[in-house]
Amino acid sequence: MDTNRRDFLRKLLWTSGAVSLVLSIPGRASACLYGNWLVRCPNGHLNIITDITCNRTCETCGALSVVNGEAVVMCPNSHANHVISGMREEREKWVMSYKCHICGQECRRNANQRMARESFYIYQDNGASVNHFSPTGWMGDVGDITLVGDWEGKPKSGKTCIKVEYSAKGEKPTCEYSGPCGWAGVYWQEPPLNWGNGRMLVTTSRSLRISDSGLARNTPR
Round to whole Å and give the CA distance between 140 and 131: 26
Task: Tell me the pLDDT band of 19, cut-offs 50, 70 and 90.
Answer: very low
CA distances from 151 to 162, 165, 187 (A): 6, 12, 19
**Which of 47, 48, 53 lies closest to 30 in space, CA to CA?**
53
3-state secondary structure at position 5: helix
- Is the model's pLDDT at 219 over the cut of 50? no
8 A C-beta contact, residue 137 and residue 195: yes
Round to whole Å and give the CA distance between 203 and 132: 11
**Bond from prior residue into 26 cis (ω within 30 degrees of 0):** no
Give 103-140 as a DSSP string.
Answer: T--B-SB-TTS--TT----S-SSTT-TT---EEEEEEE
Query: Using one digit for the tens of pLDDT, what is the confidence trace for 158-199?
Result: 899 999 999 999 999 999 888 899 999 999 988 888 888 755
8 A C-beta contact, residue 52 and residue 46: no
Task: Tell me the pLDDT band of 1, cut-offs 50, 70 and 90.
Answer: very low
Number of other CB atoms surrounding residue 203 within 10 Å: 15
Lowest mean pLDDT among 144-148, 149-153, 202-206: 202-206
Query: Using one digit for the tens of pLDDT, what is the confidence trace for 110-143?
Result: 866 655 445 678 888 898 877 888 999 999 999 9
- Is the model's pLDDT at 15 over the cut of 50? no
Query: Using one digit for the tens of pLDDT, what is the confidence trace for 36-90?
Result: 888 888 887 888 888 888 888 888 788 888 887 788 998 888 888 998 876 656 6
Beta-strand ranges (E) seen in 50-193 are 52-53, 56-57, 64-67, 70-74, 80-84, 134-140, 145-151, 161-166, 184-189
| DSSP 8-state class, residue 161 | E
**Which of 100, 111, 107, 116 lies closest to 33 in space, CA to CA?**
107
Which pLDDT belongs to residue 172?
94
Which pLDDT belongs to residue 195?
85
**Which of 59, 79, 81 lies closest to 70 in space, CA to CA?**
81
Amino acid present at 219: T
